[in-house]
Amino acid sequence: MRAVVLLIIMFISIDLYTQDKLPIIDMHLHALPAAQNGPPPNAICAPPLEMPIHDPSRPWASAFMELLQNPTCETAIWGPASDQEVMDQTLKLLEKHNIYAMTSGSLLDAYIEKGGERIIPGLGFSFFHKGMTAEKVQMLLASGKFKVFGEVAIQYNGVSPSDSLFAPYAKIAEALDIPMGIHVGTGPPGAPYLPGVENYRAKLHSPLVVEELLMRHPKLRIYLMHAGYPMIDDLLAVLWAHPQVYVDVGVICYAIPRKAFHNYLKRIVEAGYGKRVLFGSDQMNWPGTIEVGLEAIETAPFLSPKQKRDILYNNAARFLRLSEETIAKHHTN
């Protein structure tokens, strides 16, 4: 009897070890400076128990910076003080959890150099990047370096993805068959009151903003970063009408209360769209948020082991059209 028990324990241990080594694809990671969200070190409550309140007698920008510098929650994740530390800690977590990450940001080349195949290069874009003309984007995407056109963060410009301003860029991505990740959903709390992004609008959280884009470019592969949070009904309508659309759970997997995230994800999965959900951390300058995001998926009581694997790897592999050879390699590293 004792031998049978030991054998069972051994098989369980092997299974857990194997599960730990299974690959993960993070479809929303950033290569950004430590000062991305204000003077470092700063912290984010991940997850928070409640969202901020504000007295408008003082500027929101200063109040928000104070929250990041002096968090009052017990779940604060502190970011490192230097760019090098942010990169080193991020890449260490990718290695630890066998993660391959779609990465964009100003420090991308350094991440590629050190992270190698774990970095899937993405071309970040917004209208703040004055030199990023359609011609420049065409050249960059055609070079073969970038596997994803994203993060497309024109929500911060107050521009809809269906706006004519973005049309030339969408046409390029469709013609080159480059998948696109579009910021549709949560920015920082109080974003319209922060310097430089005053044109950010809550109405652009709605996934409905991509409809005309999709109709004009039917071969375009897109995923909605942040899953259009909190516009769940609009999201489900878009997923119904446009079966090619995927979503990622970047930032909402750690920056909103855990129950709110689980409720939102549950609505998507129960509506039948679990195979179009992609894991994304939206790690910026707080590397520890990667693990909080993974925990949010692993602890979702309504997800089966198969659904978790779909979200953590299989769906992204399908969306990116990874070859059988690449998938096999990911599973043997």
Both tokens assigned to 322:
């990874």
User: How much is the average pLDDT of 297-303?
Assistant: 98
Banded pLDDT at 21 (limits 50, 70, 90): confident
User: How much is the average pLDDT of 22-47?
Assistant: 97
Both tokens assigned to 300:
């979702």
Banded pLDDT at 333 (limits 50, 70, 90): confident
Write the pLDDT tens digit of every residue in 220-257.
Answer: 999 999 999 999 999 999 999 999 999 999 999 999 99
Alpha helices in the chain (DSSP H): 2-21, 60-69, 83-96, 108-115, 134-142, 167-176, 211-216, 232-241, 258-268, 289-298, 305-309, 315-319, 324-330
d(CA 325, CA 268): 31
User: How much is the average pLDDT of 9-22?
Assistant: 46
pLDDT value for 20: 62
Neighbouring CB atoms inside 10 A of 256's CB total 21
Q: What percent of the chain has pLDDT over 90?
A: 93
Both tokens assigned to 200:
């950010």
User: How much is the average pLDDT of 20-27?
Assistant: 92
Q: Listing from the earlier edge strand, what are the strands of the sheet with 119-121?
A: 24-30, 99-104, 119-121
SS3 73: coil
β-strand pairing of 277-278 with 99-104 = unpaired
Read off the pTM: 0.93
Q: Which residues contact 138 (CB under 8 A, 6 or more apart)?
A: 172
d(CA 182, CA 177): 15
Beta-bridged to residue 43, according to DSSP, are 78
Question: What is the 8-class DSSP label of residue 79?
Answer: P
Q: Is the predicted pLDDT of residue 292 greater than 90, yes or no?
A: yes
Banded pLDDT at 177 (limits 50, 70, 90): very high
d(CA 165, CA 160): 9
d(CA 313, CA 282): 16
Q: For residue 103, which phi and psi values (nearest 5 degrees)? A: -125, 135
User: Are residues 314 and 283 in contact, defined by beta-carbon separation less than 8 angstroms?
Assistant: no
Q: What's the one-letter identity of residue 192?
A: P
Neighbouring CB atoms inside 10 A of 302's CB total 12
d(CA 110, CA 220): 29
Q: Is the predicted pLDDT of residue 202 greater than 70, yes or no?
A: yes
